[in-house]
Chain A
Amino acid sequence: MTEARANMMISVWRGMGSTGKFETFEVPAQDNQTVLDVVTWIQQAADPSLSYRYACRVGMCGSCAMMVNGQPRWTCRTHVKRVLRDNQIEIAPLRNLPVIKDLATDMDPFFDKWVKAGGVHRASRSRDMPIQEVKPDTAQRQAADNGIECINCAVCYAACDTVSSNRDYLGPAALQRAWTLFNDEKVVDKQAVLDAVSGSGGCHNCHTQGSCTKFCPNDLDPLGSIAGLKRETAKSFFRRGSKQC
């Protein structure tokens, strides 16, 4: 690390549940530091009671996402230089999730919806059967591959206004998972995948605001996945007639 320069003013959300306020800390600026480094500095050097969540620090585990200057970001891979404005940064817990304390949110609703959208693997073969051959270069496999890099960071979930205004909406990550399963040839019952995303909180509630794709830190395209689900459910609607839903 090079020598420290002027201090930055970092506003951090403090509070339990739905109440709280921003508290400002002076943090020494370094040449190379991420937003997560800044939060860690505050917790270690200024106020050990600050609660936040992280694990891997290298953009793999998906646990350190926060709102940085009003935009959802993975903090471990967000360089301070990219978000520092007038020597200030505002750091808050992820939107659209209940706050436990300070910067740590309760991720249960996010993962519950993941399960509700059919995100759990349903095996189509037993251990006694031969391993299924999956060709990597088919168009369908590539569509599935696009979504499997999701790290469950909930950045898309926090970015989406439809999630905020429609309590039942499954959200971009869960729907993208469903699209991945739909394109996975190991999943046999495609109709079950489509049915899981066709209810009152399903893919049809998406308004194509595109914030999910815009903010996804892994450059995935949940918006495109949801459009894919809309297309396939429309096809199945015509196949099965209006009795379907």
Chain B
Amino acid sequence: MIRPHRSHPLWLAYFLHRVSGLALALFLPFHFLLLSMVISQPQTADALLRFTDHLTVKLAEGGLVFLLAVHFFGGVRLLALEFLPWSGKRKTITAAAIAFAFFVSGSFVLRAV
């Protein structure tokens, strides 16, 4: 449950940024592992890549792209808030960051399926 002192847009944006960042950091080693099999173990790599043809896996991949997009636009938002004196438009910037993330990951899922 979101505790009362946390129920506002900037805190939720922080939470999304932290969760997506942690998830991406955990995903990266597996991502690197698969790519380093491309030449040394092409059969294994191709079998793993074929596994990504399944719809559920594609949706999970869409989730990963969403995490990357959310962390990316959320990060750009943070850099803007920290390095540009834009104190008045924090909620707008936050909403725009999340909207962009949905747009990009949405495009990915639509092309993948």
CB of B29 within 8 Å of the partner chain: no
> Which residues of chain B have a CB within 8 Å of any CB of chain A?
3-6, 8, 10-11, 13-14, 17-18, 78, 81-83, 85, 87, 90
Quick check: B85 and A70 within 8 Å, CB to CB? no
CB of A102 within 8 Å of the partner chain: no
- Interface-central residue, B5, B17, B18, by most chain A CB under 10 Å: B5
In the assembled complex, which residues on chain B have CB atoms less than 8 Å from the CB atom of A36?
Answer: none
Quick check: A234 and B81 within 8 Å, CB to CB? no
CB of A224 within 8 Å of the partner chain: yes
With A230-B82, A231-B82 as known contacts, state yes or no: A214 contacts B87, CB within 8 Å. no
Which one, B8, B81, B90, contacts A211 given CB within 8 A?
Answer: B8
Closest to A229 in B: B82
B73 to chain A, nearest CB (A): 14
How many inter-chain residue pairs (CB < 8 Å) link A and B? 55
CB-CB contacts below 8 Å: A86-120 with B: 95
Quick check: A210 and B5 within 8 Å, CB to CB? no
Which one, A95, A208, A223, contacts B5 given CB within 8 A?
Answer: A95
Quick check: B82 and A210 within 8 Å, CB to CB? no
CB-CB contacts below 8 Å: A49-88 with B: 69-72
Quick check: A70 and B14 within 8 Å, CB to CB? no
In the assembled complex, which residues on chain A have CB atoms less than 8 Å from the CB atom of B85?
Answer: 224, 227-228, 231
Q: A72-B5, A207-B17 are in contact. List 20 more A-B contacts (CB 8 A).
A: A159-B5, A161-B6, A161-B11, A207-B14, A208-B14, A208-B81, A208-B82, A209-B10, A209-B14, A210-B10, A211-B5, A211-B8, A211-B11, A214-B10, A223-B87, A223-B90, A224-B85, A227-B81, A230-B83, A234-B83
Quick check: A221 and B87 within 8 Å, CB to CB? yes
Mostly, the A contact residues are helix
CB of A169 within 8 Å of the partner chain: no
> Which residues of chain A have a CB within 8 Å of any CB of chain B?
69-72, 95, 158-159, 161, 207-211, 214-215, 221, 223-224, 227-228, 230-231, 234
Closest to A160 in B: B5
With A208-B10, A209-B10, A210-B90 as known contacts, state yes or no: A215 contacts B5, CB within 8 Å. yes
Quick check: B11 and A210 within 8 Å, CB to CB? yes
Quick check: B4 and A70 within 8 Å, CB to CB? yes
- Interface-central residue, A158, A210, A214, by most chain B CB under 10 Å: A210
Which one, B4, B13, B87, contacts A224 given CB within 8 A?
Answer: B87
Quick check: B4 and A71 within 8 Å, CB to CB? yes
- Interface-central residue, A72, A158, A227, by most chain B CB under 10 Å: A227
In the assembled complex, which residues on chain B have CB atoms less than 8 Å from the CB atom of A223?
Answer: 10, 87, 90
